[in-house]
């Protein structure tokens, strides 16, 4: 059973988490969102602003799922919970120090970086616990985040920048691969509908195989590669040092650097 939660921001990520919590059983909880989306069930009361929250509501966690650009105006409205509830933020680029400045120095804050496969509970989230977070609060955050996929923890908050570059932005790289395969299939004369099916199903099916297999990705790749065959020809192009190895490394370094620039 998930204890009472105050969800701030009932958008894509907040909604995905909430769906997972409800499946596990959620104690009476509150969500705040200016759009006032309909409540998915009797255990969730939705208000359009923080002032409407009943005075006796005592959440175990406040989940901050608004856009990072809304943090400065939004977080101070929830300072009153900072002494009793753990603050779990999934906002990109908002550091623990930056959030403490808005929530008060006593705030126990967990900063987490999820990714969009959360929408189908296949996400991966990396959490980092700030000062004062108790083991029980960290476990509660782990439970809340595991509703949208796998969860890992780091002690060094600086690692959230490369994590953002790899798994936060990563779904876009995989979708780009599907786009490029579809376009190349069409160039080779495959009709567009079939090109789309082949690209999508190859990317999603390979992901499912990777998830289900005990083998590492390099072994699964080798399993498709017969000597002097078609795959070997293609991989000769893609794996040339100046091709994918250099491009992926540069892309992730660029995203890491951008994440550091945006942090605050």
Does position 92 interact with ligand NAP (CB under 6 A)? The reply is yes
Q: What are phi and psi of 229, to 5 degrees?
A: -90, -170
Question: Does residue 90 bind ligand NAP (CB under 6 A)?
Answer: yes
Q: Which stretch binds ligand NAP (CB under 6 A): 12-20, 80-88, 241-249, 253-261?
A: 12-20
Our CB check for ligand NAP shows the closer of 35 and 218 to be 35
Minimum distance, C-beta of residue 261 to ligand NAP, in the bound complex (Å): 15
Interface size with ligand NAP, residues (CB under 6 A): 25
Which span sits near ligand NAP by CB under 6 A: 20-28, 87-95, 176-184, 256-264?
A: 87-95
Query: Cβ 93 to ligand NAP, closest distance in Å?
Result: 7
Q: Minimum CB separation from ligand NAP for residue 130, in Å?
A: 17
Residue showing the smallest CB distance to ligand NAP in the complex: 11
Give 13 or 166: the residue with its C-beta nearer to ligand NAP: 13
Point out which span in 10-18, 78-86, 174-182, 226-234 binds ligand NAP (CB under 6 A). Answer: 10-18
**HEC profile for the chain?**
CECCEEEECCCHHHHHHHHHHHHHCECCEEEECCCCCCCCCCCEEEECCHHHCCCCCCCCEEEECCCHHHHHHHHHHHHHHCCCCEEEECCCCCCHHHHHHHHCCCCCEEEEECCHHHHHCCEEEEEEECCCCCHHHHHHHHHHHHHHEEEEECCCHHHHHHHHHHHHCHHHHHHHHHHHHHHHHHHCCCCHHHHHHHHHHHHHHHHHHHHHCCCCHHHHHHHCCCCCCHHHHHHHHHCCCCCHHHHHHHHHHHHHHHHHHHCC
Selected from 3, 4, 68, 76, the binder of ligand NAP by CB under 6 A is 68
- Asked if residue 161 binds ligand NAP (CB under 6 A), the reply is no
What does the binding site for ligand NAP look like in residue numbers (CB under 6 A)?
8-14, 32-35, 65-68, 70, 74, 90-92, 113-116, 168
């Amino acid at each position: 059973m998930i204890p009472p939660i105050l969800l701030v921001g009932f958008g894509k990520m907040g909604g995905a988490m909430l769906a997972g919590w409800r499946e596990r059983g959620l104690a009476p909880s509150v969500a705040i969102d200016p759009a006032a989306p309909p409540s998915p069930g009797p255990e969730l009361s939705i208000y359009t602003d923080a002032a409407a929250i009943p005075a006796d509501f005592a959440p175990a966690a406040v989940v901050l799922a608004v856009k990072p650009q809304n943090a400065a105006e939004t977080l101070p409205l929830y300072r009153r919970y900072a002494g009793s509830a753990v603050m779990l933020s999934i906002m990109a680029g908002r550091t623990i120090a930056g959030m403490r400045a808005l929530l008060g120095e006593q705030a126990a804050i967990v900063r987490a970086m999820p990714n969009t496969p959360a929408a189908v509970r296949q996400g991966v989230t990396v959490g980092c616990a700030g000062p004062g977070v108790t083991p029980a609060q960290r476990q509660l955050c782990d439970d809340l985040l595991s509703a949208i996929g796998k969860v890992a923890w780091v002690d060094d908050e600086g690692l959230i920048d490369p994590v953002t570059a790899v798994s936060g932005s990563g779904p876009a790289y995989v979708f780009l691969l599907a786009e490029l395969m579809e376009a190349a299939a069409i160039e080779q004369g495959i009709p567009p509908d079939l090109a789309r099916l082949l690209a999508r199903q190859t990317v999603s099916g390979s992901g499912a195989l990777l998830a289900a297999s005990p083998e590492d990705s390099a072994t699964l790749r080798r399993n498709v590669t017969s000597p002097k065959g078609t795959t070997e020809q293609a991989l000769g192009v893609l794996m040339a040092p100046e091709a994918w190895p250099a491009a992926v490394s540069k892309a992730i370094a660029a995203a890491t650097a951008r994440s550091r620039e945006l942090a605050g």
